[in-house]
Amino acid sequence: MNDPAIAVDGLTKQFRGGTRALDGLSLRVSRGGIYALLGPNGAGKTTLIRILATLLRPDGGTALVAGHDVVAEAGRVRQLIGLAGQFAAVDDHLTGRENITMIGRLYGLTRRAATSRAAEILTRIGLDTAADRQVKTYSGGMRRRIDLAASLIGRPQVLFLDEPTTGVDPASRHDLWSLVRDLAADGTTVLLTTQYLDEADQLADRIAVIDHGRLLTEGTATELKDRTGAAVVELDLPPHQLDAAMTALQPLAPRRDRDRILLPAPDGPLTLRHAMGLLDQADLTPTDIALHGPTLDDVFLALTRHNTSRSARSTA
Ligand SMILES: Nc1ncnc2c1ncn2[C@@H]1O[C@H](COP(=O)(O)OP(=O)(O)OP(=O)(O)O)[C@@H](O)[C@H]1O
Ligand SMILES: [Mg+2]
């Protein structure tokens, strides 16, 4: 029972044309709970999920899901998993209920069992009022939910969600989050990918940051933030002063985030004082100032920027 839900060891995958999507990736996801994969575009997240879901064969290394090898025991793995995200299995011309019932039948349920399981799942994901409309009339958020519903028919032990809330409005996002939390509370292990750092921060028990098919770091959100260490100074300035401020602050490695300038603040208040001195010399005055601990965005930027410069050779 202490086996991990997912055990990945030295996984490699190279696509034709030379892209090394996975480059010796290893990670463990323990049973229950929510695990997030973070990484910039092209990091290898979807490739990993497709391998774990038996849709793609790795070139090397091993991957076990619920103790079963994804290559040698692909059929067994398929019975234990659910997958939702970029590979929507639903038919636009059918209603939500028809889709879910049909997938239940494909799973070998009797007509009666499929009907009642569909009703149960549609209620659970909050689609019961829209259940009898064609899926083509659904909004983006409703589509994400019907995808998720389809992945739940088989009562998966391990659920893969590839960008479950991309393009979903904030209210629907929160609904989806609470649904995912409920599933995890019932004992399902959830592995999700996301482009949204706040999603990983709020939803995931543990987070892996990957880039160029390799694991950069892994841990709870708090551990990742603590490891990055440095606090951050945030400065708001009038828009017409931003360029001049970026120049004045060069010694402190500033980074621009819309109308705001962010500075790594290894020396906390001393960095803040240094920044204020530089701005003062340039006759610039911030409209707002803050000093705070690192966010997951800071962690992500620090890790993936560093990795980009260090590993540019690997694409050769
Ligand atoms: N079928 C394919 N053929 C060739 N190259 C591929 C294929 N699928 C993915 N790749 C490449 O493998 C790398 C990893 O892609 P992957 O889709 O796993 O990234 P990702 O982390 O999911 O990115 P995103 O955040 O954009 O979804 C990328 O360089 C991509 O171009
Ligand atoms: Mg992807």
Same domain, 83 and 190: yes
Same domain, 203 and 243: no
Query: Is 303 part of a structural domain of the chain?
Result: no
Rounded to whole angstroms, the Cα distance separating 66 from 31 reads 8
Same domain, 86 and 26: yes
pLDDT surpasses 90 at 302: no
State the amino acid at position 22 in one-letter form.
Answer: L
pLDDT surpasses 80 at 28: yes
pLDDT surpasses 60 at 314: no
Same domain, 178 and 62: yes
Task: Check pocket membership of 86 for ligand 1, CB cut-off 6 A.
Answer: no
The minimum-distance atom of ligand 1 relative to the CA of 210 is 21
pLDDT score at 299: 81
Ligand 2 centre to CA of 41 (Å) is: 7
Summarised one tens digit per residue, pLDDT across range 89-104 is 788 999 999 999 998 9
Task: Check pocket membership of 85 for ligand 1, CB cut-off 6 A.
Answer: no
pLDDT surpasses 70 at 255: yes
Nearest ligand, CA 48: 1
Whether the Cβ atoms of residue 209 and residue 304 lie closer than 8 Å to each other: yes
Summarised one tens digit per residue, pLDDT across range 43-83 is 999 999 999 999 999 999 999 999 999 999 999 999 999 99
Ligand 2 centre to CA of 50 (Å) is: 10
Query: Is 189 part of a structural domain of the chain?
Result: yes
Same domain, 277 and 179: no
Same domain, 219 and 236: no
pLDDT surpasses 90 at 283: yes
Rounded to whole angstroms, the Cα distance separating 298 from 197 reads 10
Query: Confidence class of residue 316 from pLDDT cuts 50, 70 and 90?
Result: very low
pLDDT score at 310: 39
Query: Is 169 part of a structural domain of the chain?
Result: yes
Q: How many domains would you assign to the chain?
A: 2
Same domain, 81 and 160: yes
Ligand 1 centre to CA of 211 (Å) is: 11
**What residue numbers bound the domain in which 286 lies?**
230-293
Query: Is 149 part of a structural domain of the chain?
Result: no
Rounded to whole angstroms, the Cα distance separating 243 from 88 reads 45
Lowest mean pLDDT among 24-33, 84-93, 102-111, 124-133: 84-93
Query: Is 65 part of a structural domain of the chain?
Result: yes
State the amino acid at position 71 in one-letter form.
Answer: V
pLDDT surpasses 50 at 311: no
Which CATH number belongs to the domain containing residue 247 in this structure? Answer: 3.30.70.980
Same domain, 82 and 159: yes
Taking the CA atoms of the chain, what radius of gyration do you get in angstroms? 23
Domain boundary among 166, 199, 225: 225
Please indicate whether residue 267 or residue 281 has the higher confidence score (pLDDT): 281
pLDDT score at 87: 53
Same domain, 211 and 237: no
Prediction pTM value: 0.81
Domain boundary among 225, 243, 277: 225
Task: Check pocket membership of 19 for ligand 1, CB cut-off 6 A.
Answer: yes
pLDDT surpasses 90 at 2: no
Domain boundary among 180, 197, 225: 225
| Ligand 1 site-directed mutation target among 8, 12, 19, most atoms within 8 Å of CB | 19
Query: Is 181 part of a structural domain of the chain?
Result: yes
Q: Phi and psi at residue 188, in whole multiples of 5°?
A: -75, 135
Which CATH number belongs to the domain containing residue 58 in this structure? Answer: 3.40.50.300
Same domain, 206 and 272: no
Q: Return left, alpha or beta for 153; rule: phi > 0 is left, psi -120 to 50 is alpha, else beta.
A: alpha
Task: Check pocket membership of 39 for ligand 1, CB cut-off 6 A.
Answer: yes
Task: Check pocket membership of 41 for ligand 1, CB cut-off 6 A.
Answer: yes
Q: Facing residues of 162 across strands?
A: 193
Query: Is 191 part of a structural domain of the chain?
Result: yes
Same domain, 173 and 238: no
Ligand 2 centre to CA of 211 (Å) is: 12
Query: Is 107 part of a structural domain of the chain?
Result: no
Same domain, 167 and 284: no
